[in-house]
Structure 1
Amino acid sequence: MRTLLATALALVFYSATLLAGDLSITMSGTGKGHEGEQTQYWSSKFMRTNHGASQIDSMVDFEKGVSYTINHKKKLIQQISWDDLEASLEAMADKMKDLPLFAQKMMGGGDNTVTAEPQGTETILGRTCKKWKITMGKMVLETSNDPSLKPPTPQGSYKRFLRLQNALGQMGPGASSALKVGEELAKVQGLALRTHTVLPIVGDFTTVATAIKEGPIPASTFDLPADYKVEDTGKKMRESMAKGR
């Protein structure tokens, strides 16, 4: 009986260790700003993407709820807390709702319907991925996710990040509409091994996984450069909205 109990406990511990394991995914990108190789580093607290070609990295702190953009050319770190982003989006939505519908659409807001459609499956690196197509107006996001490849981060924080990530780079009214896309992404299981995004005016870009590695990642991988200037973009945005700008 003791042997069976010990074995069961060992299996539980082993499974928990697998779920919490670090993960590195190398991606190949095409499209303006996404060219070349980039590597995602996943741990239980962080996700960092290093992009050598652009010299602009990004990092997410799932524990604190903060996203960072690290510009090595400018030696600048721009940070935005998810609380600040959500508060700004709520303030933006309140202002937008009092405008005529045509004015909302001209400013990039309005009631943009989001659709999510399954597109079958495809195999990437020997893994069976489920394909999804998410559209909002002229914006199209195609994503192929491996349901068996789970992020080692807490699910609640991860889903919150997915909901907000498309609004992170936007300061205008369209950011609130981007939340709808994030809400659909949060329903898709597993990590994306291929993405194809089409954005009006901006263009389109693609990323596809070329290697996956499971194993410990040095803690220093997630260190922010100590000598870079830090700009609190989220705080500025929230203060600007409070002043009615």
Structure 2
Amino acid sequence: MRRLLTPVLALAFCIPSLLAGDLTLTMTSTGRGHEGKQTHLWSSKFMRINHPEGQRDTLVDFVQGVHYTIDHKKKVIQKMSWEDLEVAMEGMAEKMKNLPAFAQKLMGGSDAQVVVEEQGSETILGRKCKKWKVTMGSTVMESSNDPSLKPPMPVGSYKRFLRLQHAIGQLGPGASSMLKLGEELAKVQGIALRTHNVLPIVGDLTSVATELKEGSIPESAFALPEGYKLEDAGKKMRENLAKGR
């Protein structure tokens, strides 16, 4: 399940205020498994990241509260509902609180502090961006956000997604720290036009915006591909937790 985490990192520094129009953002990325061009599509209902080189796309349905990872190589779609994730995390937290502190630490539990710092400004694509640095233990996330760019989806559902996004694929003792990270990231305004993330195991990931378009995007652009196997990862996760796995 760990593979589900990294495709959503480019979204880590976005928060909506007023509803905006559809956006198409082209990013050039470097880092293991993320090299090449990525296209980010934003609408009032969906967000999608297309990564042709990696043959692995991400789709978020903000109406239904569902995250999809689309593997074009394997022709498999992994589905993770936010409700399933929240229930599973509650179950894990209940099990963890009955363990002694040393056991929680051995299992990867953590109360790591999340620090958010503003670090000046820079201009990208002619747009003035605020620079931010977010640190949690050995995880460091830097971004340059344009506060005038507002994601077009409703505030409530987007905040819920931000809180949960880093816990996707990270269910375990450290998931509570991922929730803290999401809550702090939700305080950063605007869409990121540059990100640089240093992540344990994953390494360095960098993305820089090369093109931005505002205008209507057809719903067909957010359709799941036909003929792919659909795996309900959220349901399986809840079932495994119920069995004590």
Q: Distance in 2 between matches of 1:143 and 1:108?
A: 27
Instruction: Name 2:6's counterpart in structure 1.
Output: none
- Contact 1:57–1:69 at 8 Å: present in 2 too? yes
- Larger radius of gyration between Structure 1 and Structure 2: 1
Instruction: Name 2:206's counterpart in structure 1.
Output: 206
The Cα shift of 1:19 comes to 4.1
Instruction: Name 1:144's counterpart in structure 2.
Output: 144
The Cα shift of 1:201 comes to 2.1
Residue pairs, 1:81-120, within 5 angstroms: 81-120=81-120
- Answer yes or no: is 1:33 the counterpart of 2:38: no
Instruction: Name 2:73's counterpart in structure 1.
Output: 73
* CA-based RMSD: 1.3
SS at match of 1:210: strand
Residue pairs, 1:147-226, within 5 angstroms: 147-226=147-226
Q: Distance in 2 between matches of 1:53 and 1:106?
A: 38
TM superposition score normalised by structure 1? 0.89
Q: Distance in 1 between matches of 2:77 and 2:205?
A: 24
SS at match of 1:178: helix
Q: Distance in 2 between matches of 1:194 and 1:107?
A: 34
The Cα shift of 1:22 comes to 1.0
Instruction: Name 1:132's counterpart in structure 2.
Output: 132
SS at match of 1:166: helix
SS at match of 1:188: coil
User: Which contiguous aligned blocks of 4+ residues in structure 1 show a shift greater than 6 angstroms?
Assistant: none
- Contact 1:92–1:176 at 8 Å: present in 2 too? no
SS at match of 2:29: strand
Q: Which moved more, 1:111-120 or 1:228-237?
A: 111-120
Query: Larger relative CO (CA 8 A, sep 6+): 1 or 2?
Result: 2
The Cα shift of 1:175 comes to 2.1
Code of the residue aligned with 2:140 in structure 1: it is V
SS at match of 2:91: helix
Code of the residue aligned with 1:186 in structure 2: it is A
Q: Distance in 1 between matches of 2:103 and 2:136?
A: 18
SS at match of 2:194: strand
Code of the residue aligned with 1:57 in structure 2: it is D
Q: Distance in 2 between matches of 1:109 and 1:77?
A: 30
Q: Distance in 2 between matches of 1:188 and 1:61?
A: 22
Q: Deviations over 1:173-216 (max 9, x none)?
A: 22221111100111111111111111112211111111100111
Q: Distance in 2 between matches of 1:56 and 1:76?
A: 10
Q: Distance in 2 between matches of 1:195 and 1:108?
A: 27
Code of the residue aligned with 1:43 in structure 2: it is S
Code of the residue aligned with 1:52 in structure 2: it is P
The Cα shift of 1:20 comes to 4.0
Q: Which moved more, 1:67-76 or 1:111-120?
A: 111-120
SS at match of 1:169: coil
- Contact 2:76–2:231 at 8 Å: present in 1 too? yes
- Contact 2:20–2:150 at 8 Å: present in 1 too? no
- Contact 1:123–1:129 at 8 Å: present in 2 too? yes
TM superposition score normalised by structure 2? 0.89
Instruction: Name 2:10's counterpart in structure 1.
Output: none
